[in-house]
Amino acid sequence: MSRMRDPFVRVRVGLGILAAVILAGTVGYLLFGFSLLDSIYQTVSTITTVGFNSPHSLDAGSKAFTIVLILVGVGTALYTFSAVLEVLIEGHMRDLVRRRRMERDIDRMSGHVIICGWGRVGREVARFLANARCQVVVVDRDTDRLNEIPYASVHGDVTDDETLLSAGIERAATLVAALDTDADNLYVTVAAKSMRPDLQIIARVRNESSEPKLVRAGADRVVNPQHLGGDRMAAFVTQPHVGTLSIS
């Protein structure tokens, strides 16, 4: 159902059905004795409601067929045209071009870092890596979040193998699992490790009880931001002159 919300999917579906209707109409008129060109002409003029005179006189059977073709064809044509207009009017074509360019950039990457989750932790990791001139690909399922990401990004569910493949997991050096829940980070770790056993995985954890589970799942490093932040704040108390380090 979610795929049908994508206007490009709707356009492809509409064009496919429209082509099938034109083919069915052409074959039908051929069976009624029309020539190939006349069959195509009659079909197109019928489903577009142009209403030119028919090249052949219609008997009862061909009239009934034409009625059915009008009901099916006009609805299909309207659906397809509305999907095309949605793409053009709402600027989806521009987004498609940008997305295609980004996909090509990701395809050329090698040794990059995949960051799963564009939350507070994911943002800080991406910022640090970008400052270190590392190539970064961010994966997130939230479309609104993707619009604010200044790095290469992939929209999708990181628990889906296809999403990880789109992020270039086959060529990546490291994957950072920075999702909101330990369960999601555990699932991503298992999925990524099954696809790339040699991939370095650094996973975020919220609960101490989840740390050994992530390690057993294949995470090379498990990080608890709350513990790091607490340790750092305590260090400022005992050693106030130590240099500062921001923790998110």
Residue 164 belongs to domain with CATH number: 3.40.50.720
Question: What share of residues in the chain are helix, strand, coil (percent, to 5)?
Answer: 60, 10, 30
Residue 240 pLDDT greater than 80, yes or no:
no
Q: In the listed set 58, 89, 120, which residue is the last one of a domain according to the structure?
A: 89
**Do residues 31 and 133 both lie within one domain?**
no
**Do residues 79 and 153 both lie within one domain?**
no
**Do residues 121 and 59 both lie within one domain?**
no
73 is a domain residue: yes
pTM: 0.59
Q: In the listed set 55, 89, 123, which residue is the last one of a domain according to the structure?
A: 89
**Do residues 125 and 211 both lie within one domain?**
yes
Report the mean per-residue pLDDT for the chain: 85
Q: Model confidence over 177-236: pLDDT tens digits?
A: 999 899 999 999 999 999 999 999 999 998 889 999 999 999 999 998 877 767 667 777
**Do residues 182 and 132 both lie within one domain?**
yes
Return the CATH number at 56. Answer: 1.10.287.70
**Do residues 75 and 132 both lie within one domain?**
no
101 is a domain residue: no
**Do residues 115 and 221 both lie within one domain?**
yes
**Do residues 136 and 233 both lie within one domain?**
yes
More confident residue, 164 or 84: 164
Number of domains in the chain: 2
CB neighbours (10 Å) of residue 11? Answer: 20
103 is a domain residue: no
pLDDT of residue 231: 66
> What per-residue string of b and e applies to 169-189 under the rule 16 or more CB within 10 Å gives b?
beebebbbbbbeebebbbbbb
- Cα dist from 44 to 28, 66, 85, whole Å: 13, 11, 20
59 is a domain residue: yes
CA atoms within 13 A on the CB side of 233: 8
* 214 closest CA partner among 167, 169, 248, 179: 179
**Do residues 136 and 210 both lie within one domain?**
yes
**Do residues 234 and 115 both lie within one domain?**
yes
244 is a domain residue: no
Which residues partner with 154 through β-bridges? 139
The mean pLDDT value for 69-79 works out to 87
Domain housing 29 = 3-89
**Do residues 78 and 126 both lie within one domain?**
no
247 is a domain residue: no
In this prediction, what percent of the chain has a pLDDT beyond 90?
Answer: 43
**Do residues 77 and 125 both lie within one domain?**
no
Q: Model confidence over 51-70: pLDDT tens digits?
A: 666 767 778 888 898 889 88
